[in-house]
Structure 1
């Protein structure tokens, strides 16, 4: 995922969460049971009131600006949420830049090729590769299931010098960081096949 998009997503989620937490905390702390223990400066509603009663709402509706502002605000919020949702599925983030000025490669195609090469490596039973696209830097997440009895050190060295180096070379001059997770297939799982 694009780092800017990732930062925007986290910021919006954090602000939404903070607003909901503050509103929920205010409503919870101003209940009748806790209101007596709060400091004097804490804003508390009058007993038996609601956040927006029918009289207050009717009073707001008498103003000519109220209905258009509510409709426009709701429409803008809906449009913003839809644009944000569609931006998550935009195809531009799924292409990896190559050495040429306008050359790109689908990250899924490269990930499948690296996974097939990794599975052909001695000591590897299965491999899954995920390559999120980035403009200047790519991250490869590799999950490898080792065959029983395979030593992780030599397998990691063979993977690094083989499929992972080839992936790094195909994305040059852009940097690629790699995280490899290894697991061992149990003999019980092997018998079940």
Structure 2
């Protein structure tokens, strides 16, 4: 839902800015006179000396007591929406809850953060793993495990990945009652600096 809203909002914002920039460029370069075409009567940019908001536009509503409060209220609402959008972009796409099918017609919710913590602790006990970070993303009914592993210099990636798949991910999938738990695993090797021995 958020990705769709992002695309729609970015598309509308892009089209609006493109139209505004194109109109300013059209008037600023006086292209309608040079190329011999006419622009609609409501078009604000008719030549290089035109401005976005002329004297008449700036002073038309000056006598109305409701005008400036309405403009300020609209700008505050717009600012609040833009701030909400920014916060939504910065929010992590972690799953707070996972829906577990209890096979009796009812569904139960499992805390996603608790499952992440259990998986992290289990992965960190594997030989050759220095540190692990697990994050569950996706939908509540179809989570995806994103696993980052920091391996010790003597860690064997093939064995670690095999145990991760056979043990940790399988146990997490079974405990959550999921048909499948796809995973994306990133491996990094821990670099130990040289230590001086006196």
Give the whole-Å Cα distance in 2 for the aligned partners of 1:42 and 1:176: 61
* Count of residue pairs brought into register by the alignment: 185
Cα 1:191/1:124, change in 2 over 3 Å: farther
CA RMSD of aligned residues (A): 3.7
1:46 corresponds to: 47
Deviations 1:163-184 (A, max 9, x none): 1111222233354321101011
Deviations 1:22-79 (A, max 9, x none): 43344356434x8489855585532322111231232356789977875775566466
Give the whole-Å Cα distance in 1 for the aligned partners of 2:57 and 2:49: 15
Any gaps of 5 or more consecutive residues in structure 1?
A: none
- Cα pair 1:136 1:174 within 8 Å, conserved: no
| 2:2 corresponds to 1:5 | yes
Matching of residues 28-47 of structure 1 within 5 Å: 28=25, 30-32=27-29, 35=31, 40-41=36-37, 44-47=45-48
Deviations 1:132-159 (A, max 9, x none): 2523211111110111022211211111
Give the whole-Å Cα distance in 2 for the aligned partners of 1:148 and 1:121: 14
2:172 corresponds to which of 167, 176, 184: 167
Greater radius of gyration (CA): 2
Relative to the length of structure 1, the TM-score reads 0.72
Any gaps of 5 or more consecutive residues in structure 2?
A: 40-44
Matching of residues 142-157 of structure 1 within 5 Å: 142-157=147-162
Give the whole-Å Cα distance in 2 for the aligned partners of 1:85 and 1:123: 40
Greater shift, 155-164 or 7-16, is seen at 7-16
- Cα pair 2:27 2:47 within 8 Å, conserved: no
Give the whole-Å Cα distance in 1 for the aligned partners of 2:7 and 2:118: 32
Q: Which one has the bigger helix percentage?
A: 1
Deviations 1:75-111 (A, max 9, x none): 664665577678787xxx6211112334112211111
**Higher RCO (C-alpha 8 Å, min separation 6):** 1
